[in-house]
Structure 1
Amino acid sequence: MLSRTPPLLRPRDGDALRAELRAVAGRANVPVLFGGEVSAGTLHLTEFFGTRTNGLKGLVIPPSSGLGGRVVLQRQPASVPDYGSAMSITHHYDRPVLGEGIRSVLAVPVLVDGASRAVLYAAVRESMPIGDRTAEILVQAGRRLGTEIAIRDEVDRRLQMLGVLDSNRGNASAAVAEGIRDAHAELRGLAQSVPDGPLRGRLRAVSEKLAALVNDEVEAGDTPVTLSPRELDVLAHIALGCTNNEVAHRLSLQPETVKSYLRAAMGKLDAHSRHEAVVAARRLGLLP
């Protein structure tokens, strides 16, 4: 989470924030962009594009203070067309903001489960409203970043669960194994819902760790069968008892596409039914 020290495998959330600001800079005609993460309700400004001074760097903004603190507290975008004379905000930060030459500012909260986890800003050096196009681009960036953080949180939650289960592996019950299988299938579906890249790879790697928890006797890389990611996605949900239509709904596929992946997996596993395919995949350590 943004408010905690990142786990070993979790990329730095500030890097994701910077990437979104960079994307906004490439699409919107706005001279100044900046933002920061929210920790324990307090906003820390760390990322900047287009600034001329160091006045804003490292500012710590508590809830309700200035425009950013107001946005953190209210969890809604807000703007002021003339920062220095705005009546809707406190003026604790007039010196660094006005010293940067900023007049008009838009702030957008990044929300995860209803809580503000970061704030993105766009600003101009004239007393004029931020344009609708820039506002929409910034709002979209905030939504993307919120989704990214939510996925990272879920991965961390699963990794923590792995640690708990691993420490109690000898006492794993059938109920725990079933929970692992459900989590495995959920992660497979979640991986497919994000753009191809490192995060998708991390989600699939975590799902493989879950499979390994229930298949201690199978060494990684020992299996002679290789299923494609989509074939494994489908089979993971079949293992939960889902029908083809239910799998299609969960994975945003057509039912015929699900049948095609299932047939391919069954062929590779030399299975004559979906049940045999699941049993074979578990025996090979491909499924938990």
Structure 2
Amino acid sequence: METMTSPLAPRDALLATLRTLRRDTGASITFGAYATPGGARLDAFVGAHSHTLAGVLIEPAHGVGGKAMVDRRPVAATQYERSTAITHHYDREVSGEAIVSLLAVPAIVGDRVRAVLYVGERVATQFGGDIVRRTVSAAQNLAWEFTVAAEVERRVTELRQAAALSAAADAPSRERQEVREAAAELRELSRVVQDPELLARIDAIGRLLLPAPTELVAPRLSPREVDMITQLALGRRNSQIAEALGLTEATVKAYVSSAMHKLDASSRFEAVAAARRAGIVA
């Protein structure tokens, strides 16, 4: 049985992590929860046979997971019911899933535990180094999802505040430039975002701040400037462009700068986007 009972952000990241973890370790069950200062309420399960653990609040320092959150390191109990290293607040719920051995690993972002992952076995199991490493790696990947989601949220908030400014016809050029730069940075960040909901939000904010003009007059770029934008669209650096076109890097830099100025772009990414909107490059 596979369930997730609450839509906590980053959306579906926890459940996806648990699926991969169970596949990679061959565990009987994997489960977990996002953490708050008051604990972690179990709400994501892969391989569960019942609902006895669903909704259980794991408090700091209690059980395997609570100890992992407080100690900020992996904690395992080969014989859960007999372990003297943990408290036994959740014995009834754990036994309801017939779990004999349990491993818990916290996902830490900065100085805060953001989630806890569990690997459970229904026969006595000494968790070896490989399983621990895989679970730690899964927790680190989930922590990265949190980091990306937090950065997206921060930029989205900034861009929402700047949207009105961007739309104002009399907005100071410096401030309009800052809006364009922030939007371009957000687009760059989208390259490392895997969550589809976050990607959709990034795209929507980008369209809000940098809408396609209803009437677009293509900037008049020289043939060599078009060459530069075409090379930039391929993701090439100045040195690579220089080698491809038989020019010096200084000359390439000058052409790129001139093209960006004509396209009213503050970055290479923005220059390529503007050129594509104008039909200059495909």
RMSD (Å) for aligned C-alpha atoms: 4.0
Q: Percent identity?
A: 28
Cα distance per residue 1:89-136 (max 9 Å; x no partner): 211101111222212111111222231111111011223322322222
TM-score between the two structures when normalised by the length of structure 2:
0.71
Higher mean displacement: 278-287 or 29-38: 278-287
Q: Aligned runs of 1:265-276 on 2, under 5 Å?
A: 273-276=255-258
What is the Cα deviation at residue 203 of structure 1?
Answer: 7.9
- Residue 60 of structure 2: SS of its match in structure 1? coil
Instruction: State whether structure 2 residue 43 is matched by structure 1 residue 49.
Output: no
Contiguous gaps of at least 5 residues in structure 1: 235-243, 246-254, 264-270
State the distance in 2 between where 1:122 and 1:136 align.
12
- Residue 32 of structure 2: SS of its match in structure 1? strand
Where does residue 74 of structure 1 map in the other structure? 71
Q: Equivalent of 1:149, from 142, 146, 150? A: 146
Q: Equivalent of 1:120, from 117, 134, 155? A: 117
- Residue 111 of structure 1: SS of its match in structure 2? strand
Q: Aligned runs of 1:1-288 on 2, under 5 Å?
A: 12-169=9-166, 170=168, 173=172, 176-177=175-176, 179-194=178-193, 198=196, 201-202=199-200, 205=203, 208-209=206-207, 212=210, 219=213, 222=216, 231=233, 255-256=239-240, 273-282=255-264, 286=273
What is the Cα deviation at residue 230 of structure 1?
Answer: 6.6
Bigger radius of gyration: 2
State the distance in 2 between where 1:87 and 1:24 align.
27
How many residue pairs end up in the alignment?
248
Q: Is the 8 A contact 1:187 1:207 kept in 2?
A: no
Q: Is the 8 A contact 2:10 2:149 kept in 1?
A: no
Q: Is the 8 A contact 2:163 2:208 kept in 1?
A: no
What is the Cα deviation at residue 211 of structure 1?
Answer: 5.5
- Residue 86 of structure 2: SS of its match in structure 1? coil
- Residue 101 of structure 1: SS of its match in structure 2? coil
- Residue 34 of structure 1: SS of its match in structure 2? strand
Q: Is the 8 A contact 1:64 1:73 kept in 2?
A: yes
Q: Is the 8 A contact 1:35 1:46 kept in 2?
A: yes
Distance 1:259 1:64, change over 3 A: farther
Q: Is the 8 A contact 2:159 2:205 kept in 1?
A: no
What is the Cα deviation at residue 165 of structure 1?
Answer: 1.6
State the distance in 2 between where 1:123 and 1:228 align.
53
Where does residue 252 of structure 1 map in the other structure? none
Contiguous gaps of at least 5 residues in structure 2: 1-5, 220-225, 248-252, 275-282
What is the Cα deviation at residue 177 of structure 1?
Answer: 4.4
Cα distance per residue 1:206-232 (max 9 Å; x no partner): 6835862xxx8x627957699789739
Higher mean displacement: 17-26 or 73-82: 73-82
Distance 1:124 1:42, change over 3 A: same
Distance 1:15 1:282, change over 3 A: same
Higher mean displacement: 11-20 or 88-97: 11-20
State the distance in 2 between where 1:203 and 1:256 align.
34
Q: Is the 8 A contact 1:106 1:130 kept in 2?
A: yes
Higher mean displacement: 221-230 or 90-99: 221-230
Task: Name the amino acid aligned to 2:135.
Answer: L
State the distance in 2 between where 1:187 and 1:167 align.
18
Q: Is the 8 A contact 2:193 2:199 kept in 1?
A: no
State the distance in 1 between where 2:60 and 2:209 align.
43
Task: Name the amino acid aligned to 1:231.
Answer: A
